[in-house]
Structure 1
Amino acid sequence: MNQLKLVARILEKTALRYTPAGIPIASATLVHSSTAREANLVRQVDVEISAIAAGEISQRFNEIELDVEMEFTGFLARKNRNSKSLVFHVTEFGTPLLD
């Protein structure tokens, strides 16, 4: 199963665009920072990942304010057929998380 759930903040985003088929696409860079336990050690985890939201969710995704922590759910896919870079395709997100 290819499912990713990530608590992150939008660091930057671009204007809403449309595919040749007319599907709206919202693009952003998400940033996450936390600690995780690995091999009995505490490790600092800092992640920056490209994300997109397509279709009906794109407008709501594009309206999220910068630097607001939220939980995003979706899947990972290649940026394009020939790329090795991954993009997080957001299919759901929750309300802003409180500190």
Structure 2
Amino acid sequence: MNRLLLSGSLLQRGAPRFTPAGLPALDLLIQHQSTVEQAGHPRQLSLEMKAQAVGEVTAVLAAMPLGRQARFAGFLASARNGRGWLFHVTEVEPADDAV
């Protein structure tokens, strides 16, 4: 199964565009920070992940203020250039405690 759940904040959002099939699309940058336990020791995590949204979810993301905390769900696929990964966001739920 290829499913990714990530909490973080919307750091950047590209200009709205349309796919060749006419679907709305957005390029995104999501920032995540947390502490996890690894081998019995705490580890600080901080990362920025390139993401893309296509379809109805783009309306929620287009209206979301930058910096807003949310829970993002979707899947990973190879980036278009074949280097690295791209997070395809299919669902977003703004965090209740976000400003």
Task: With the length of structure 2 as denominator, give the TM-score of the two structures.
Answer: 0.91
Correspondence for 2:97 = 98
Matched position secondary structure for 1:61: helix
Query: Structure 1, unaligned stretches of length 5 or more?
Result: none
- Could you tell me whether the CA contact under 8 Å between 1:52 and 1:88 is conserved in 2? yes
Q: 1:3 corresponds to which letter in structure 2?
A: R
Distance (Å, rounded) in 2 between the aligned partners of 1:32 and 1:77: 19
Question: Once the 2 structures are TM-superposed, how far is the Cα of residue 61 of structure 1 from its aligned partner?
Answer: 1.4
Matches within 5 A, 1:1-99: 1-80=1-80, 82-98=81-97
Structure 1 moving runs of 4+ over 3 Å: none
Distance (Å, rounded) in 1 between the aligned partners of 2:58 and 2:24: 6
Calculate percent identity across the aligned residue pairs: 36
Distance (Å, rounded) in 2 between the aligned partners of 1:85 and 1:19: 21
Distance (Å, rounded) in 1 between the aligned partners of 2:59 and 2:83: 28
Task: With the length of structure 1 as denominator, give the TM-score of the two structures.
Answer: 0.91
Distance (Å, rounded) in 2 between the aligned partners of 1:9 and 1:44: 17
Matched position secondary structure for 1:83: coil
Matched position secondary structure for 1:22: coil
- Considering only aligned residues, what root-mean-square deviation do their CA atoms show, in Å? 1.3
Using the TM superposition, name which of 17-26 and 43-52 deviates more: 17-26
